[in-house]
Amino acid sequence: MPFRSAPEGGRLRATAAALLALLALTALVGVAPAPEPLLGSEIRRIPTEEHVLALTFNAAWNETGLDTVLGVLRDRAAPAVFFPTGDFADHHPRALRAVAAAGHGLGNHSSSHPDFTALSPDRARNEVRRADTAIRAASGAEPLPFFRFPYSATSPQAVATVNDLGYADLEYTADTKGYLGPVHGMTADRAVERALAALTPGAVLQLHVGASEESGPDTCLDAEALPRIIDGARARGYRITDLRTLLNR
């Protein structure tokens, strides 16, 4: 065996230790860890000055509007990342298989949609792991190392907890608020207006599929608004980008 100097041997040992830690983390959570530069803080926009917009969809209720959304994304050749809860994955596996089959990314939105600022680290880790397992089983796809906090309720401790599991905290620049539904005075027109008013380089837009009982279980305003959001953004010189490009930076 060739002789190695002490500094080189030390570097090799450090590299081996880091690799073993990475493999242990992947085995523990199942997700391939996010790159180090994405950890340590909330991500609310893509760090770029390019006129790009990322589309994201939370899913925690039912499948209302999903087929429409997937059709619009297909017809307009627009990528998106979906953030389902574990409960959604358990109850609507067909929906997640359809998302994965369409080539869109799947993030993690917790198992039962609790407020993470009120959870202990152990409970928070359990929420993330259970969701990862459910999303993987339902979709048959590899989840992305992106976690979105329910209610966007973050804290330094909560971010550190999900980072330790290999997830980057991917929040959003603006929310259409389409999930509120007509019962709260929301319309598709207003959802479009909110989306286009929030355009800024690297913007991340939050939309929703499904509908709560409170907002009307058969109404998905974001599905209705989506074609005009994409067309309006492109008319203003914005390109719809895929958040997965963050993993290659």
pLDDT for the residue numbered 185: 93
Confirm if 107 and 143 have CB atoms less than 8 A apart.
yes
pLDDT for the residue numbered 31: 84
Between CA 187 and CA 207, with CA 79 as vertex, the angle to 5 degrees is 25
- Hey, what are 120's tokens? 């202990």
Q: What letter would DSSP give residue 218?
A: T
pLDDT per residue, tens digit, the chain (249 aa), is 333 334 445 554 544 444 444 444 444 456 889 999 999 999 999 999 999 999 999 999 999 999 999 999 999 999 999 999 999 999 999 999 999 999 999 999 999 999 999 999 999 999 999 999 999 999 999 999 999 999 999 999 999 999 999 999 999 999 999 999 999 999 999 999 999 999 999 999 999 999 887 777 689 999 999 999 999 999 999 999 999 999 987
In the three-class reduction of DSSP (H, G, I as helix; E, B as strand; rest coil), residue 49 is classed as: coil
pLDDT for the residue numbered 114: 98
Enumerate residues 6+ apart whose C-beta is below 8 A from 177: 186, 190, 191, 194
User: In one letter, which amino acid is 110?
Assistant: S
Residue 157 and residue 58: Cα distance in Å, rounded? 23
Are β-strands 105-106 and 168-170 bridged in parallel, bridged antiparallel, or unpaired?
unpaired
Q: Which of 203, 96, 179 is nearest to 144 (CA)?
A: 96
Residue 195 and residue 172: Cα distance in Å, rounded? 12
Confirm if 134 and 157 have CB atoms less than 8 A apart.
no
Q: How far is CA 38 from CA 9, 32, 132, 147, in A?
A: 29, 13, 19, 11
Q: What is the pLDDT of residues 126-158, one digit of tens each?
A: 999 999 999 999 999 999 999 999 999 999 999
Residue 53 and residue 203: Cα distance in Å, rounded? 5
Residue with tokens 């109404």: 219
pLDDT for the residue numbered 29: 54
In the three-class reduction of DSSP (H, G, I as helix; E, B as strand; rest coil), residue 229 is classed as: helix
What Rg do the C-alpha atoms of the chain give, in angstroms? 19
Q: What letter would DSSP give residue 32?
A: P
- Hey, what are 177's tokens? 């608020």
DSSP string of 67-105, one letter each residue: HHHHHHHHHTT---EEEE-HHHHHH-HHHHHHHHHTT-E
